[in-house]
Structure 1
Amino acid sequence: YNLIFTVKDEKGNQTKKEILIETFEVEPIVITVDPVYEQIMNEPASASFKVISVTGGHPNDSLASYSWKLNGVDLGIDRFNVELNNLSKGDYEVEVTVNTKLGISESKKMNFSVLENKLPNCTVESVDLLKTFNLNAKCSDEDGKIIEYKWFDDKIIYLKRQNFTLSKTRNTTINNLKLQATDDSFGKTIIELGDLIINNGTAIFKGKNNEK
């Protein structure tokens, strides 16, 4: 751009001055975000996003604020990071917007999906030996792993292991025995096994084998 200005005195004398002003196109603002979540996420899922750098823009400008949206809904968060918890199955879009003191806004969108959690599949094998009666849990988790087993009835938790062993040297009655298997997404499968009676060295297992 050429800027010309003129200076005149009261006698009509004047001087002109021409100044060349050169402007440069501002580099676009680039937002770099570090997402932290599992490559395959089962519900209930958690994810976090952190802005690690904002580059470009006017050299005399600076950041004024942040805003975050989840599926188009403003989360009301004005900071460089966001944590999302208890996400149910579905597709998600996270959008972060940075606003500068010169009134410039730039946004970045990121997409991810959460899958429905598949519950553990369980069966129970009973083994009647000379001195013990054993119940062995056979559980698998198609989309993860089993993190806890629990043997219990309506009142007592007996054991938190995969296998449940009872001595046949002591009379025992357990009504409505159940097995619970919990996966790594905290999904639970409960099997109602029925009544277990040990009387004078004999084990009587009235199994229901109903999965719940």
Structure 2
Amino acid sequence: MPAAHDHLSVRDYSASHGSHDHDHFQILLGLQGELELEVAGRGRRIAAGDGCVVPPGERHDFEARFGARCLVLDSHTSDWARARSFAPPPATLALATYLARACTDRLPRAQQQGPSLLLEAWLPPTDASPLRPRRAIDWDALARWALTRSGVGPTVAELAARVHLSAAQLAARCRDERGQSTQQWLRELRLAQARAWREQGLSVAEVARRSGYRSPSALTAARRRAGI
């Protein structure tokens, strides 16, 4: 059962960086935009339909470069510790959207019953098993392997096969563990290698050829966008 002082709200996040911790669980469900979140040193992004349970006492940093809106539940209900083992099912977004409207329109019954409904929707049936421990990805080893590939380098599918995952599974792991998409991770890896080659004295043209860029100007533009 939810604690009497559980509180639902709708919050808008901006590019301004924030950081704090609480003595209660904080549950976030994405409604619009993308919220960049780092909890206890682990980064992730919350888009519409994504959810995250922040445990009591864990400091979390957050920002939304292009704006984001989330349904936020501040809760002292201990069952949220169990909910951390599960991702919110897709149908939870519809409930979150309704509860967000209830907060805006100040519908008392929905606000009162919303926390328990959200927990019930988030948790699977009682006979379901929590997520199995996932095999760790050695990102450093994967990066070394990726850099041995000449030209445009490996595809996302080839990267995923290397660690015995599907492309979708690797994408999810990359978002959870690296805080970015697989393509962003690959691009930063290539640009870091390009910078190292330039520091070794190779010409921009040769570095562009090795890195898989179609021209030196394309490489220069990519580095400028990445701030390298």
Would you call these one fold, judging by a TM-score over 0.5? no
Kindly indicate which of the two structures has a greater share of residues assigned to strand.
1
Q: Which TM-score band (shorter chain)?
A: under 0.3
Please identify which structure carries the higher helix content.
2
Task: Compute the TM-score of the two structures, normalised by the length of structure 1.
Answer: 0.21
Please give the TM-score of this superposition, normalised by the length of structure 2. 0.20
